[in-house]
Copies of this chain bind each other. A is one copy, B any other.
């Protein structure tokens, strides 16, 4: 039924070793026989079996990608960066959603390892000792992608979330704002949650503003939680003049919530966030936000992984990509 390398060998009147050589572009083959082999391949419609090749060579040219949720625009962008570079280096990716849930993350890492991936790109929540344990039993390189590792032992690619949040809040302060609210993520999330919150707090305190707990609400990164947080802020005895949201989506919810209350952005309340997703320029007013280069994070981490897989020397095993505040129209001077 299936035509194998052996069938091709017989058809071409050579040995299977020779067929293997031409299929793998080994230069040690006389052009003439190479031609014969190609013709036989064509005639038989031979298609190399990558599984057999994988078993024999111990390389699968596929990498595993653990991602929180591919339907989230931010991660989808990272995934595209990963796949483009993977493709460029002739790797395929096996994609697994793990929803930042530890058990699921560990589980998919193990099945990926069973499938003998040549490397692992991990995008998740907190990196625990159990994660480290799982990574250690892998005999293949692992790189963390858009994921902070407190231990700092695994190669990683990310932005500095704390600094990005700090810069966002600084922009607000530079515009004269002092009563600045934050819509945060959960503090259990090291990057989008904890780090961004601390960037906010540091900026506030450095500016001599006393931290006010009632000005911080925890959201779930989604639009609706931005809407809800602002409803709460507007009922405060003294409402904020600016809002810093941990993600674009919550910021957009915030903007609409403000507008629904009959107020204007940025005339009455300014809004800034971190992400610079495509949606940021698809709202009115367009959102001022700190650009997080998601595609590049994916691309760079995949590139790093290829080097690791080839055992090439890498200068930097922990790369921090630059962020940048993108000024649009959602931030104005304090009233």
Contact = CB atoms under 8 A, between A and B. Distances in A.
A93 B92 contact: no
B83 A79 contact: no
Given A50-B115, A76-B71, A252-B282, A139 B83 contact: no
19 contacts: A1-B139, A49-B116, A50-B114, A51-B54, A52-B55, A62-B115, A71-B76, A71-B77, A71-B80, A76-B76, A84-B97, A92-B115, A94-B95, A223-B282, A249-B282, A253-B282, A256-B284, A282-B283, A283-B283
Given A139-B2, A223-B282, A114 B48 contact: yes
Interface string A51-93: 1101100001010000001111100110110011001000011
A97 B249 CA distance: 25
Interface residues of A, number: 54
Contacts of A77: 71
Contacts of A93: 94-95
A7 B252 CA distance: 58
Interface of A is mostly: helix
Given A50-B116, A51-B116, A71-B295, 19 more contacts: A1-B139, A2-B139, A47-B113, A49-B116, A50-B111, A51-B115, A70-B80, A71-B73, A73-B73, A76-B76, A80-B97, A87-B96, A92-B94, A92-B112, A93-B95, A94-B94, A249-B282, A253-B282, A279-B279
Interface of A: 1-2, 45, 47-52, 54-55, 60, 62, 69-73, 76-77, 79-80, 83-84, 87, 92-97, 110-116, 137, 139, 223, 249, 252-253, 256, 259-260, 278-279, 281-284, 295
Nearest to A249: B282
A72 B70 CA distance: 10
A137 B44 CA distance: 12
Given A80-B70, A116-B50, A284-B259, A45 B95 contact: no
